[in-house]
Amino acid sequence: MSGPAGLHVVGTLRELEIFSRHGSVEPDLPVLWTSGRHDEESTIQVAAIGERIPQAEWVIFEQSGHLSHTEEPDRYLAVLGDFLARAEAAEGDRGTAGPRRGSSRERSAGAGRLTGRPGPS
Name the residue range of residue 38's domain: 26-108
Look at the chain and report how many structural domains it folds into.
1
* Residue 13 counted as domain residue: no
Which candidate, 92, 89, 79, 2, places its Cα nearest to that of 36?
A: 79
* Residue 39 counted as domain residue: yes
* Residue 100 counted as domain residue: yes
* Highest-scoring range by mean pLDDT, 21-35, 65-79, 83-97, 106-120: 65-79
Q: Is the pLDDT of residue 20 over 50?
A: yes
The confidence band for 25, taking pLDDT boundaries of 50, 70 and 90, is low
Report pLDDT digits (tens) over 33-56: 899 999 887 888 788 877 777 778
* Residue 117 counted as domain residue: no
Euclidean distance between CA atoms 58 and 80, whole angstroms = 11
What was the pLDDT predicted at 6? 61
Cβ contact 58:105 at 8 Å: yes
Q: Work out the average pLDDT over 12-22.
A: 68
* Residue 44 counted as domain residue: yes
Cβ contact 76:26 at 8 Å: no
What was the pLDDT predicted at 118? 46
Euclidean distance between CA atoms 30 and 17, whole angstroms = 22
Cβ contact 38:65 at 8 Å: yes
> What is the overall mean pLDDT for the chain?
75
* Residue 91 counted as domain residue: yes
* Residue 88 counted as domain residue: yes
Report pLDDT digits (tens) over 86-117: 988 887 765 444 444 444 566 777 776 554 44
Euclidean distance between CA atoms 16 and 7, whole angstroms = 14
What was the pLDDT predicted at 15? 75
* Residue 99 counted as domain residue: yes
Q: Is the pLDDT of residue 12 over 60?
A: yes
Q: Is the pLDDT of residue 2 over 80?
A: no
**Neighbour order of strands in the sheet with 56-61:** 31-36, 56-61, 106-108
